Amino acid sequence: MRPGVLVCLACAQVWAEAPPQQGGPNNHLLVIVPAGTYAVGSPDSLRNPARKVALAAYAIATAETTNRQFAAFVAATHYVTDAEKLGTGKVSLEGMADWDWDQVKGANWRHPSGPGGTGWEELGDHPVTQISGSDAEAYCKWLGARLPTLDEWEVAARAGAKTRYPWGEKFDPKLANTWNGETHRRNTREDGFVYTAPVKSFKPNAWGLHDVIGNVFEYCSGLPNDAHPGDEAHLIAGRGGSWWCSFGTCHFFNLVDIGRMDKHGSLSNQGFRVAFDPAKMKGSSK
């Protein structure tokens, strides 16, 4: 399949460039993915094996949900996040050892690194973090949206690509926001950022989606095939990796791997993008 071409296997149609886009509620720009049968997974993945999936049409945001968008939700509903209820959130900073995360008092979406760090107002165009999977679901409910399924996320993130990354098989540190450096003691800043980047800072994939690799782990609905009955009560899946991820630690910044997180946990590298069932998008006033 040549770059920039969308093929819907179920309906035998070909779009010359990419699926259509349209504006959604709360300033979300959406890609409309047509119904079809799509290839997902990889032959060498036990958690996400190669297969074909049949999907109904859906819409998915071109960018991760931002602090500004989440603030509009909080202003309208007075919602209190899991991190605010708990009084702490997990934070990792440059200079810490690999895999070290501190439970920081007062860290939440308003101050993702803690009270002494940068506030959400200065990070308005950055993806919202320090929100749990449950918080993301609450935002979606308010919006009339939902989290994308694991397969929907992958189909949109691939945009027709059959490779490990949207741009090919080899990772390029300048094309996504991940951790640059041998350890978390020092970030070499090859991608221009240490922590989160404003959404749309990097070139989008062939369908116009930004940051499907890196920036923040994106919550999805459903769990991979190695989950156990009842896991959905306390676990949530995440795709795409994050600014914290490196080849020496969590190397899930690709189109195949599926992470599993605490559904009520709040970290400074976890966020989400929204999805819609097209029929439910009509008449929204948000």
pLDDT of residue 281: 73
| β-pairing verdict for 217-220 and 270-271 | parallel
pLDDT of residue 92: 98
Residue appearing with tokens 């960018």 = 63
pLDDT of residue 279: 80
What are the residues facing 112 on neighbouring strands?
none
Q: What is the pLDDT along the chain (286 residues), one digit of tens a residue?
A: 333 334 444 333 334 468 999 999 999 999 999 999 999 999 999 999 999 999 999 999 999 999 999 999 999 999 999 999 999 999 999 999 999 999 999 999 999 999 999 999 999 999 999 999 999 999 999 999 999 999 999 999 999 999 999 999 999 999 999 999 999 999 999 999 999 999 999 999 999 999 999 999 999 999 988 899 999 999 999 999 999 999 999 999 999 999 999 999 999 999 999 999 988 775 444 5
CA separation for the pair 85, 77 (Å, rounded): 16
pLDDT of residue 7: 42
What are the structure tokens assigned to 124, written together? 């308005």
CA separation for the pair 129, 137 (Å, rounded): 14
CB 131 within 8 A of CB 83: yes
For 166, what's the count of Cα atoms within 13 Å in the CB-facing half-sphere? 26
pLDDT of residue 6: 42
Domains of the chain, with CATH numbers? 6-72+107-280 (3.90.1580.10)
DSSP string covering the chain, please?
--TT-EEETTTTEEESS---EEE-GGG-EEEEEPSEEEEESBTT-SSSB-EEEEE--EEEESSPPBHHHHHHHHHHH----HHHHHTEEEE--TTSPTT--EEEET-BTTBTT-TTS--GGGGTTSBP-S--HHHHHHHHHHHT-BPPBHHHHHHHHHTT--SSBTTBSS--TTSSB---SSSTT----TTS-SS---TT-S---TTS---SSBSSEEEEBS--TT--TTGGGTEEEEES--TT--TTS----SSS-EEEEETT--BTTEE---EE-GGGSTT---
CB 60 within 8 A of CB 37: no
Q: What is the pTM of this model?
A: 0.92
- In degrees rounded to 5, what are phi and psi of residue 121? -60, -35
CB 50 within 8 A of CB 59: no
pLDDT of residue 3: 36
